[in-house]
Homo-oligomer: A and B are copies of this chain.
């Protein structure tokens, strides 16, 4: 059964390669006319598969999905040590007859999401051990490419009242691109800057959604049983999308994704089956104050900066032809030629090639490797490039 599942899913995935940028292909079902207009910043009430099929292909930049977890709870209710009852997730939408039924459901919505994702889009799914292994396997079977699994470490998890297991103190998010193809958005430097100048790790420590942030009904009870903290969703959107990007959430619930998207200057498409949740989401999102554009401006990453030929650095007079370049520790030397190449002995080539050559390395960033002497001190030639880029910005 499982092998058949894999084969079928694989075949479906192979067949379904949309070609964005060329002809806009027909909607998957062929029954519902495709509207090319995106229902932006709206909550669509209805079945998520039907709603997804009505969206144009290759139209969203990011998907955040918090699907049903398929919790398999026992019969009786769970009691705390003080005999109060734990408010368990036993809603109809979380009930599946079998793992197979859950797998079918999972493959269906993932396939539908994949169709509407741009080739450069990525997808986030959150789950617990009850469902995340099914979801992860389905992702791989459908041709998604897992980039990371992220652990949401809960600051204040519910203890295990019976003392029969470890405190279930985390949930797992999977971050995947549509295919192994490169070119997705990842704000590496920004995340590093917000994390003590260290790479952001795959384990995130974030409190549960409680207190003011938790939506409560007029009866004082929580509106949705599994509302996620905005901080968690915000980190996914900040890391893998840009201001103005379209974020899709096929299990919108009470609209955490929409609220965060609006606050961070992203557009959203929310799909939710229950009108009660959708209504709560609309009211919640309307109250969100978007951040100022100034606070959202994305800093240009080094990769996005304009290219500066080394020849331009020479032409600007920062380095003279005939000068000698050396490395930080003055172990190697090279001669600057008027055409922007370097010479080391008989060999000539770019600053990168000669840098690699003299060190015996396969590659080298010549900009950071080579230095010139100015007033008795070594100056990195990358400093000149920085000066020139600053001049280009002000011009």
Contacts and interface: CB of A to CB of B under 8 A. Distances in A.
B133 A315 contact: no
Contacts of A339: 187, 190-191, 193-194, 238
A339 B136 CA distance: 27
B395 A315 contact: no
Interface in A159-191: 159-160, 163-170, 172, 174-175, 186-191
Nearest to A191: B339
B148 A163 contact: no
A3 to B, nearest CB: 6
A393 interface: yes
B346 A393 contact: yes
A25 to B, nearest CB: 25
A345 to B, nearest CB: 11
* Interface of chain A, main secondary structure: mixed
A335 B295 contact: yes
A103 B129 CA distance: 18
Contacts of A235: 311, 315
Q: Which of A107, A163, A338, A352 has the most CB of B within 10 A?
A: A338
Contact of A338 (B205, B291, B340): B291
Given A99-B6, A100-B3, A338-B295, A165 B186 contact: yes
A140 B352 contact: no
Contact of A172 (B148, B149, B200): B149
B200 A350 contact: no
Interface of A: 2-3, 6-7, 79, 83, 99-100, 103-104, 107, 128-130, 132-141, 146-151, 153, 155, 157, 159-160, 163-170, 172, 174-175, 186-203, 205-207, 231, 234-235, 238-239, 263-264, 291-292, 294-297, 299, 307, 309-312, 314-316, 321-322, 335-341, 343, 346, 348-350, 352-353, 359, 361-364, 391-393, 395
Given A137-B137, A147-B164, 8 more contacts: A3-B100, A3-B103, A3-B104, A79-B363, A129-B146, A170-B203, A291-B321, A291-B322
